[in-house]
Amino acid sequence: NAGVTQTPKFQVLKTGQSMTLQCAQDMNHEYMSWYRQDPGMGLRLIHYSVGAGITDQGEVPNGYNVSRSTTEDFPLRLLSAAPSQTSVYFCASSLRAGPSYEQYFGPGTRLTVT
Amino acid sequence: DQQVKQNSPSLSVQEGRISILNCDYTNSMFDYFLWYKKYPAEGPTFLISISSIKDKNEDGRFTVFLNKSAKHLSLHIVPSQPGDSAVYFCAASDDNYGQNFVFGPGTRLSVLP
């Protein structure tokens, strides 16, 4: 049982490049989400999914796309990277949507856009 | 404008003493609150939660207090241990369905042996 896994751990992109951050969970969780963490700020929700085939925007969705074709995987796509997207990205999952369900976080991906 | 504030970026406490981490919020619609702990190079891990129908929740060495009228919550760790040294995030939600939490910026706790 690996929990929530994220790849890669580190990534450097040039402005305008695209890439996909991978997130997978093996706990059969319905709810998955992506956050970014910037210095001096808390985690901010980018996109979330309440189940396969269903996604929705969070607080800071611009510049990011997501899809949820399976229960296990929730990739985050950067379409055209910008320096403002330099951040640490965390994926999380919980059994179901709802604040009483504990969220499990992955170890994070540190992204630098030059 | 931050809806969830943790005004102390850092806190140092002696081992065995009490650690008190504070969190203030501005949105009176928030009805569920959580604390997460984060070690370097790891994701946050859930610590303890409280809903707005309570004013206190306890789990071992960790107690969270909620003062709704003051829009303030605090996390008490007694006794503090060196392994408690981490960044602590307060988070709040007004969404009964989703997990759309608003996180504070975090407080770095250092427990000195």
Residue of chain B whose alpha carbon sits nearest to that of A51: B98
For residue B112, what are the β-bridge partners?
B14
Q: How far is B15 from chain A (nearest CA, A)?
A: 26
Q: Is A94 on the interface with B (CB under 8 A)?
A: yes
What is the C-alpha to C-alpha distance for residues B74 and B52, in angstroms, rounded to an integer?
Answer: 13
Q: Mind listing the pLDDT tens digit for each residue in B39-73?
A: 999 999 999 999 999 999 999 999 999 999 999 99
CB-nearest to B42 from A42, A94, A107 is A107
pLDDT at res. B5: 95
Residue of chain B whose alpha carbon sits nearest to that of A10: B41
Structure tokens belonging to residue A65: 């796309």
Q: Taking all residues of chain A, what is their mean pLDDT, rounded to a whole number?
A: 95
Work out the percent of chain A whose per-residue pLDDT is above 70: 99
> What average pLDDT does the segment B102-107 reach?
94
Question: Quick check: bond before A39 cis, omega within 30?
Answer: no
Q: Mind listing the pLDDT tens digit for each residue in A83-93?
A: 999 999 999 99
Question: Which is higher by pLDDT, A61 or A101?
Answer: A61
Count contacts between A and B (CB, < 8 Å).
Answer: 70
pLDDT at A7 over 60: yes
Q: Are A51 and A71 in contact (CB under 8 A)?
A: yes
Residues with Cβ within 8 Å of residue B21, at least 6 apart in sequence: B6, B8, B11, B35, B74, B75, B77, B88, B90, B107, B109
